[in-house]
Structure 1
Amino acid sequence: MASSCNRCVISASRAAAVQPQRFFAARQLVVASFSTSAIALAGAKKGKPAKSPVKRQGGGFSKAKAGGAQAKQKAEAAALAVRADLIGPEPDLSGLHEFTNDVANEENVGRPTRFVKQRWDSISSFGLPKNIAKEFARDTPTTVVRESTVAVIERITKPTNQSSDSNRILLSGARGCGKSTVMLQAVDSAMQNGSVVIYIPQAINLINSSSPFVYNSASQMFHQPALSAQLLQAMQSTNKSVLSSIKLSQETNIESTAASGGSASFAAGDGLDKLIAAGAKSEALSVPVLEKALDILGSQTDVNVLLAIDEVQALFMTSEYRTPDYTLLESYALSVPRLLLDYISGRKVLARGTVLTSLSFSSPRYLPSLELFTGLSDALPSPVPLTPYDRVNEYHVAHAKGLKVVNVMEKLALGEAQGMMSIWSKKGFVAHRKFAGMWRSYHKKLIAGVHPISATDELFLGKFAESGGNAREFGRGLFSTLAV
């Protein structure tokens, strides 16, 4: 017995000397178990072939399993089924009022509502901000009417006959105050009014070098055909009925910007949806079609147009695209950002429409630039003072001038916070049943002249105080402490 143990130790030491990485990997202690070799086992089983040993990811050896891919898929499916059982069925939110323009008024500030599924699906064709897409990946999309909601919707719906030259708005406010949600509410409101909506929820994707680009000598810009085709496709699926009512005033010829060439012709009287559909199907035509479509939308006065851009600060900085000599490109050297900047800066105008933009502080890598703060120095003071040694790109500064800054309320009002609490109670996130009808009881107490907050609402007041009234932090504080 002792001799056999000595042989095991000797063989183990020799193996460690030859291949030490099998015994010591990634700073982890690996416990080696000694057993009879696979070759010896094969000889003992008389005719049964030995399965080749395979190395595990974390170290050690095991026998190869037949049908490993199928077994893995079955295990993943079982895990998903378990998760679905744990999560339970989707809560019934049919009792919530639908978010409509009739509800978006001062009398209903704090009211919990739900987005209409049809319009939400249309908005989702453009994509959604990351945090909102994650929040409503499974649940019914809900929202609360806020004072900022009412103010922004009034600004984009009242001027029905004004051009975007006087309606270029920038939503500003602290991180997590709800700027993206207010923009979504404005987009939904514009769709209810029959407006043509062009919504870009993640402008960072226009400059982060995530899509192909190619230099065009005629325009001396770098074209983004894939991005242009995706935007046209979303425009078509969201606004198809409205676009078909807008007719081309004259015969239109579109020349391909691709090296292979090609063109497309459209007769006078054709619907704008036909032009957009051609660009959505062909990347070779997508760049000139997108520019022509916006020109037509900008010149007509029959339908309102809303151009909504979230994370707009990305358009006022150097992009991550590089030239062949590895020089970084400015955002205005790319076709899609350049086209959007034309309308943001006022070089091009929507004869009947609004340009609604919003800042985002979610990504530390793409924070607002000094150029943006310099161009809006009167309404948007820079958090860092500008010194004579700071280099400022004057083109970016010029693009920012003319935007009207609208500050989204940094702190939730008590009624707004209670509306959010009521939604989370219906979804099952809040264990306390007393929050289910909180918004209604809040307004009843206000009408009766009674203080709306009672001494028993310790949980609500505690989390509201911890968050400082910030909408995102208020939700995080609740989810980290409350039972689900």
Structure 2
Amino acid sequence: MASFCNRCVGTIARLAAQPQRSLAASQLAVASFSTSTIAQAGAKKGKPAKSPVKRQGGGFSKVKVGGAQAKQKAEAAALAVRADLIGPEPDLSGLHEFTNEVTNEENVGRPTRFVKQRWDAISTFGLPRNIAKEFARDTPTTVVRESTVAVIDRMTKAPNPSSESNRILLSGAKGCGKSTVMIQAVDSAMQNGSVVIYIPQAINLINSSSPFAYNTTCQTFIQPALSAQLLQAMQTANKSVLSTIKLGQDITLESTSAVGGSTSFAAEDGLDKLVAAGAKSEGLSVPALEKALDILGSQTEVNVLLAVDEVQALFMTSEYRTPDYTLLESYALSVPRLLLDYISGRKALARGTVLTSLSFSSPRYLPTLELYTGLAGALPPPFPLTPYDHVNEYHVAHAKGLEVMNVMEKLALGEAQGMMSIWSKKGVVAHPTDELFLGKFAESGGNAREFGRGLFNTLAV
């Protein structure tokens, strides 16, 4: 105790020997020295304390209050600046609507815009990645091409209405416009009052991105979530048409869930009720999807279009694995297997078309050896085949009978001019000139995707 008192006396003596400071300064020094952070926070009437945080370079600093609000204000200001630079969405109402009346030889190269109602219906199924990115903000537009006219004519003027003889495979170089031609065909089918089932990304059916389970009843691996999503899109895009198609017989769907149960439908019920039930319940989705396609395949009152992009994914080993870590083939999964029934001709739409398309955008999912073998020379393989190449005969059998239609690898000059006109109306090409057009056309080699990319890059000029 004596030593503590001596230290206190010594400290008071040293303070008394220092020069006198102002009252405010001395009070501030004492407060900052003797008052804890908690006490200061209480003295500021609820004002949040500034907790010290360590800097990367060493030392400590205090967190700035309102940093998140300042960041939000900065982001809002940046968005406002970008909006001023981008400007309002261009007015493309002057473009002709994409209709069946303009899909003819006389209108090849004509720039058009998709009707919003039908585009929204198509979008419920999803869109290919590059097309979804392109039209994320702009009005969906397209150009009538020779391939557009050829594919739509082939679908509408087929001598046999059954899909057994109308199974088409769109092929062509990467970026030539296969996905766009397919969307044009889907839009055309909707105009004719057809039931449309559109799969824009078949890779998602096999890449192990959705739940699956083995079902002992059907002895295959079912995909209830994918089935429910497809039924939901079918219901949204085709509700008015599905309601006109009657079931024709009493139907009972058995649930595939662990809980079990069943749902019954009367013969006079519309197909839309069965589709809606499958879309609402994943337990009913798998049998509901199969039964819906059976009914659509047997009826002869309404045309049906089954369109599958990235179809090469259905002719390869999937990324799903069994409990013993064995990779599953695509036909061991419920949704790919059901689609392959109609693509291969094992099942047929009495009045419909199966339209498929290859995609070369993903190096991981390129067309397989089985697909080239099944097409029997209709699609030349990119490498020579040898007797030592092993193929899966099931995949080969599924590819047989597909009619290959090549989308033009190069744009015609009139088609390229139509694309140039669209980019000009959107404000991407500020000063369209013949030199710019011919330069970008030569740079791209006539490839549709590269030509559009080259025109878009002129925005920075």
Task: Classify the TM-score, shorter chain.
Answer: 0.7 to 0.9
Question: CA–CA distance in 2 between the matches of 1:170 and 1:330?
Answer: 21
The DSSP-based 3-state class of the residue aligned with 1:107 is helix
CA shift, 1:234, in A, is: 0.3
Aligned match of 1:210 = 209
From 27, 33, 45, the equivalent of 1:43 is 33
The DSSP-based 3-state class of the residue aligned with 1:245 is coil
Write the deviation string for residues 326-382 of structure 1: whole angstroms up to 9, x where unpaired: 111110010000000000000010000000000000011111111111111321011
Whether contact under 8 Å (1:331, 1:338) holds in the other structure is: yes
CA shift, 1:55, in A, is: 4.9
CA shift, 1:226, in A, is: 0.5
Question: CA–CA distance in 1 between the matches of 2:390 and 2:409?
Answer: 31
Aligned match of 1:473 = 450
How many residues align? The count is 423
Question: CA–CA distance in 2 between the matches of 1:63 and 1:423?
Answer: 54
Question: CA–CA distance in 2 between the matches of 1:265 and 1:87?
Answer: 55
For 1:78-117, list aligned pairs within 5 A.
Answer: 78-117=77-116
For 1:399-418, list aligned pairs within 5 A.
Answer: 399-418=398-417
The two structures have a TM-score, normalised by structure 1, of 0.84
- What letter corresponds to residue 212 of structure 2 in structure 1? F
Question: CA–CA distance in 2 between the matches of 1:243 and 1:114?
Answer: 27
Question: CA–CA distance in 1 between the matches of 2:58 and 2:340?
Answer: 54
Question: CA–CA distance in 2 between the matches of 1:59 and 1:377?
Answer: 70
Write the deviation string for residues 426-477 of structure 1: whole angstroms up to 9, x where unpaired: 000111156xxxxxxxxxxxxxxxxxxxxxx221111111111000111122
Aligned match of 2:298 = 299
- What letter corresponds to residue 100 of structure 2 in structure 1? N
Could you say if the C-alpha distance between residues 60 and 371 of structure 1 is closer, same or farther in structure 2, counting changes exceeding 3 Å?
farther
Write the deviation string for residues 378-421 of structure 1: whole angstroms up to 9, x where unpaired: 21011111223322111111100110000000000000000000
Unaligned runs of 5+ in 1: 1-39, 435-456
Aligned match of 2:288 = 289
Larger Rg belongs to: 2
Question: CA–CA distance in 2 between the matches of 1:361 and 1:315?
Answer: 14
Question: CA–CA distance in 2 between the matches of 1:251 and 1:59?
Answer: 77
Aligned match of 1:7 = none
Unaligned runs of 5+ in 2: 1-29, 42-48
Aligned-CA RMSD value: 2.1
- What letter corresponds to residue 259 of structure 2 in structure 1? S
Question: CA–CA distance in 2 between the matches of 1:322 and 1:221?
Answer: 13
- What letter corresponds to residue 91 of structure 2 in structure 1? D
CA shift, 1:59, in A, is: 8.8
Write the deviation string for residues 22-44 of structure 1: whole angstroms up to 9, x where unpaired: xxxxxxxxxxxxxxxxxx99638
Could you say if the C-alpha distance between residues 280 and 67 of structure 1 is closer, same or farther in structure 2, counting changes exceeding 3 Å?
farther
- What letter corresponds to residue 221 of structure 1 in structure 2? T
Write the deviation string for residues 270-329 of structure 1: whole angstroms up to 9, x where unpaired: 000000000000000000000000000000000000000000000000111111111111
- What letter corresponds to residue 362 of structure 1 in structure 2? S
CA shift, 1:147, in A, is: 0.1
- % identical equivalent positions: 85
For 1:454-469, list aligned pairs within 5 A.
Answer: 457-469=434-446
The DSSP-based 3-state class of the residue aligned with 1:428 is coil
The two structures have a TM-score, normalised by structure 2, of 0.88
Aligned match of 2:20 = none
CA shift, 1:68, in A, is: 5.1
- What letter corresponds to residue 33 of structure 2 in structure 1? G
Question: Is 1:359 equivalent to 2:358 in the alignment?
Answer: yes
Whether contact under 8 Å (1:160, 1:352) holds in the other structure is: no
Aligned match of 1:143 = 142
CA shift, 1:57, in A, is: 8.3
Question: CA–CA distance in 2 between the matches of 1:269 and 1:210?
Answer: 38
Question: CA–CA distance in 1 between the matches of 2:105 and 2:78?
Answer: 47
- What letter corresponds to residue 465 of structure 1 in structure 2? A
Whether contact under 8 Å (2:210, 2:226) holds in the other structure is: yes
The DSSP-based 3-state class of the residue aligned with 2:341 is helix
Question: CA–CA distance in 2 between the matches of 1:59 and 1:90?
Answer: 49
Question: CA–CA distance in 1 between the matches of 2:219 and 2:31?
Answer: 71
- What letter corresponds to residue 425 of structure 1 in structure 2? S
- What letter corresponds to residue 340 of structure 1 in structure 2? L
